[in-house]
Amino acid sequence: MRDSASGSSDVPTVLVRDSDGRDLLCFLEQLIRLDGTDYVLLTPVDTPVSLFRLQDDADPEPIITLNSSEPILSVADVVLQEHDLTLVRSAVTLTVSGELDEPDPDELEDEDDDDGDEDSETFELLVSFMVEEQEFGLYIPLDPFFVVARMVDGQAELVEGEDFDLIQPRLEAELEEREWPE
């Protein structure tokens, strides 16, 4: 993982903006040219997190749509501040800035369920908290979190919705051809 705090990373960064005007600072991982347009594959500089509703005896339920002024996020802000972390309402995803402990890969292998579902994402709980008698958790995805953007006049524009659905298979095919990542 890159050490963005010390500035020792030589990987260029790109600021990507979504259709709502929110920004996300990312590392530039790959540049892919398709039909005369430059697309970039990016990873967030800050740690991406996902919000889940936690319920007894049930799998955590992801919360997909969330207004950035939601009371849940205000409580998450306070809980994260206790750990010297900051919740950022950025483009594409929520992120957390600050020093996070790296997960131990040996522990993660022991915790994996052998249910054969290779499509399910794996997450690690960062913090949990209560809001109006309901428990929530912020989880870090353990799989790489990629963002796709289109370069237009030197600016990175997030590829969203139908545009993403159309371009994703072509980008994946190009990456497979390049054999990245292994």
pLDDT at residue 114, rounded to an integer: 44
Q: What is the pLDDT along the chain (182 residues), one digit of tens a residue?
A: 444 444 445 789 999 988 888 899 999 999 999 989 999 999 999 999 999 999 888 888 888 877 666 788 889 999 999 999 999 988 888 999 988 766 555 554 444 444 444 444 588 999 999 998 889 999 999 888 899 999 988 889 999 889 999 999 999 888 888 765 54
What pTM value is reported for the model?
0.76
pLDDT at residue 80, rounded to an integer: 94
pLDDT at residue 90, rounded to an integer: 86
Residue with tokens 């497979």: 176
Q: What's 73's DSSP letter?
A: H
Tokens of 64: 């997909």
pLDDT at residue 41, rounded to an integer: 93
Beta carbons of 15 and 23 less than 8 angstroms apart? yes
Q: What are phi and psi of 54, to 5 degrees?
A: -105, 135
Residue extents of the structural domains in the chain? 13-101+118-178
Closest Cα partner for 5 from 89, 90, 124, 85?
Answer: 85
Half-sphere exposure of 154 (CA within 13 A, CB side): 0
pLDDT at residue 100, rounded to an integer: 79
pLDDT at residue 15, rounded to an integer: 93
CB atoms within 10 A of CB 5: 10
